[in-house]
Amino acid sequence: MFKHYPLTMHRNALDAARAAAAAGRQGRFWEMHDRLFANQTELDRASLERYATEIGLDVDRFREDLEGDEVNAAVEADLDLGRRVGVDSTPMIFVNGRRFDDPLESLSDWITEELSSH
């Protein structure tokens, strides 16, 4: 499960998180996520709308959702959860509520171990 945790040191991070959430309301979260990740230096509002067009979103609905209470509440809820569990950087991985801090190469083994213990 993906959770948003836009860092305040990144000027457009909050809008980017909202854009991904708004795209998700049209079933295109991962397409927008990938576009945002590939274009991290171009996250202004015009670029977000261009990406919405490029991935085939209803852009009027995207704009409404981007500014809407539901998308904002979803991103804020993710931020609140992140603060409660001690997120201090991104990306961060949790499996069954346990924070994964080992080298990424050991993630598969760590998940297998975690799954076998439950």
The DSSP code sequence of 61-82 is HHHHHHHSHHHHHHHHHHHHHH
Q: Identify whether the C-beta of residue 78 lies closer than 8 Å to the C-beta of residue 3.
A: yes
Among left, alpha and beta (phi > 0; psi -120 to 50; other), residue 61 is alpha
Q: Are residues 28 and 46 in the same domain?
A: yes
Q: Are residues 67 and 49 in the same domain?
A: yes
Structural domain count of the chain: 2
Q: Tell me the pLDDT tens digit for each residue of 101-115.
A: 888 888 888 888 888
Q: Give pLDDT, residue 118.
A: 67
The angle subtended at Cα 93 by Cα 88 and Cα 95, nearest 5°, is 130
pLDDT-derived band at 100 (thresholds 50, 70, 90) equals confident
**What domain range includes position 108?**
93-118
Q: Tell me the pLDDT tens digit for each residue of 2-51.
A: 888 888 878 899 999 999 999 999 999 999 999 999 999 999 999 999 99
- pTM for the predicted model, two decimal places: 0.82
Q: Are residues 35 and 68 in the same domain?
A: yes
Among 9, 2, 4, CA closest to 72? 4
d(Cα 36, Cα 53) in Å, to the nearest integer?
A: 13
> 117 pLDDT exceeds 90?
no
Q: Are residues 69 and 98 in the same domain?
A: no
Q: Are residues 22 and 67 in the same domain?
A: yes
Q: Are residues 97 and 53 in the same domain?
A: no
Q: Are residues 10 and 65 in the same domain?
A: yes
